[in-house]
Chain A
């Protein structure tokens, strides 16, 4: 038995004992790569996810709504930063992650490739998309990699306000004028299925899932999380008086869960591949901001160098 094998075995029993892996600990290279892929993808989702909501900040219909939306999008920037920060502990520089995002090598949640033509989308995103994200994130607070788990604890604490904010926006619409009620229903119609897709391919078609579960990076399967989400969300929609756009949706007494219709996986894979309504726009937006800011970042570095030199000069003159 080679040393390598025994290291990996020991790593597995370490993880099995629910101990956290820290940056300095030995870890299988594939564990490290898996984490970098997952954490950076998660970070990119937060960052790209700013765009569909930032779209409505300037048009928010009340000052209160404007402030809340702005604060929420700012949180997403913060969460992206926490996540980049934890991926960096694995030796992956942020600029490399960003380059991979911009080249299309790295992915982000496909949900953000859908447009936000309606104010109601600000509610629906908070309610469904953040709701789905929370489902996933609560699980990840117990993930085996320490810095990732700690980032998730912080994010979950802040994220709970997001879902409530979204639900409140939708609730106000459903209690409003006929036009507002129509806005809310129309938005739910568009976002429901993409939200279910957020949990990723079904368990039979999720190639990386098994190993991730074994390493306790993931703690629940895609289908389990999706079912939990549906079970939780259906009563919330009923409370609002909105109709979930799925004629196969029905409570299954024997399973103790809702049954729901088939997801259009063709659409899912097309959007993942880059053919969603906004894929190109989202990346172009990110690239433009990054390129427009290059002279600013460069100037800040140049200034910092000058300052450091001046300090050294002063110190040696003294």
Chain B
């Protein structure tokens, strides 16, 4: 990975007192400090949040889907199939 790409963070917002943080999306930042600032600028442009959490996407571990839906057996334990988990050359087709 080239050093000009910033890593990915998941963003959680608490919209008002008494509610818990809710996942709103992700963004790129080199460190947690800028991730928080970027989150403020990107996800609270209309005062949607009073508290922000950012978590490196690669640090999140997810449960498997319900037994009932065993069909969808996940291929990994990450919430998202994020790019950092795959290293596929560009010329490999249909991946």
- Residues of A whose CB lies within 8 Å of any CB of B are 7, 10, 23-26, 29, 33, 74-75, 78, 81-82, 85-86, 88-96, 151, 154, 158, 294, 297-298, 300-304, 307-308
For chain B, the count of residues having a C-beta within 8 Å of the partner chain is: 37
CB pair A91–B81 under 8 Å, yes or no, is yes
CB pair A92–B83 under 8 Å, yes or no, is yes
CB pair A26–B46 under 8 Å, yes or no, is no
CB pair A89–B4 under 8 Å, yes or no, is no
- Besides A88-B80, A301-B3, 15 more A-B contacts (Cβ < 8 Å) are A24-B62, A24-B74, A25-B65, A26-B71, A26-B74, A74-B45, A85-B26, A89-B82, A93-B83, A94-B83, A298-B4, A300-B30, A300-B31, A301-B6, A308-B31
CB pair B25–A301 under 8 Å, yes or no, is no
CB pair B3–A89 under 8 Å, yes or no, is no
Chain B residues with CB under 8 A of A29: 94-95
Chain A residues with CB under 8 A of B65: 24-25
Tell me, rounded to whole Å, the shortest Cβ–Cβ distance linking B60 to chain A.
11
Measured CA separation A294–B6 after assembly (Å): 11
Measured CA separation A96–B53 after assembly (Å): 26
Chain B residues with CB under 8 A of A96: 83, 90
CB nearest to B23 among chain A residues:
A150
Tell me, rounded to whole Å, the shortest Cβ–Cβ distance linking B55 to chain A.
14
Measured CA separation A252–B62 after assembly (Å): 55
Chain A residues with CB under 8 A of B2: 95
Could you list 29 A-B pairs, sorted by A, with CB under 8 Å? A7-B71, A23-B81, A24-B65, A24-B72, A24-B74, A24-B80, A24-B81, A25-B65, A25-B69, A78-B45, A81-B27, A81-B42, A85-B25, A89-B82, A90-B81, A91-B81, A93-B82, A93-B84, A94-B5, A94-B28, A94-B83, A158-B46, A297-B6, A300-B6, A300-B31, A301-B5, A301-B30, A303-B31, A308-B31
B73 at the interface (CB under 8 A from A): yes
Contact with A along B1-44 (1 / 0, CB 8 A): 01111101000000000000000111110110010000000100
Chain B residues with CB under 8 A of A93: 5, 82-84
Q: Please classify the interface of chain A as helix (H, G, I), strand (E, B), loop, or mixed, using the class held by over half of its residues.
A: helix
Measured CA separation A93–B87 after assembly (Å): 10
Tell me, rounded to whole Å, the shortest Cβ–Cβ distance linking B83 to chain A.
3
- Select B27's contact among A23, A75, A85, A307, beta carbons within 8 Å: A85
B79 at the interface (CB under 8 A from A): yes
Tell me, rounded to whole Å, the shortest Cβ–Cβ distance linking B77 to chain A.
9
Known contacts A75-B45, A89-B81; is A301 also within 8 Å of B4 by CB?
yes
- Select A78's contact among B42, B83, B94, beta carbons within 8 Å: B42
CB pair A91–B86 under 8 Å, yes or no, is yes
Measured CA separation A308–B77 after assembly (Å): 26
CB pair A91–B31 under 8 Å, yes or no, is no
Measured CA separation A303–B74 after assembly (Å): 36
CB pair B30–A303 under 8 Å, yes or no, is yes
Measured CA separation A96–B82 after assembly (Å): 12
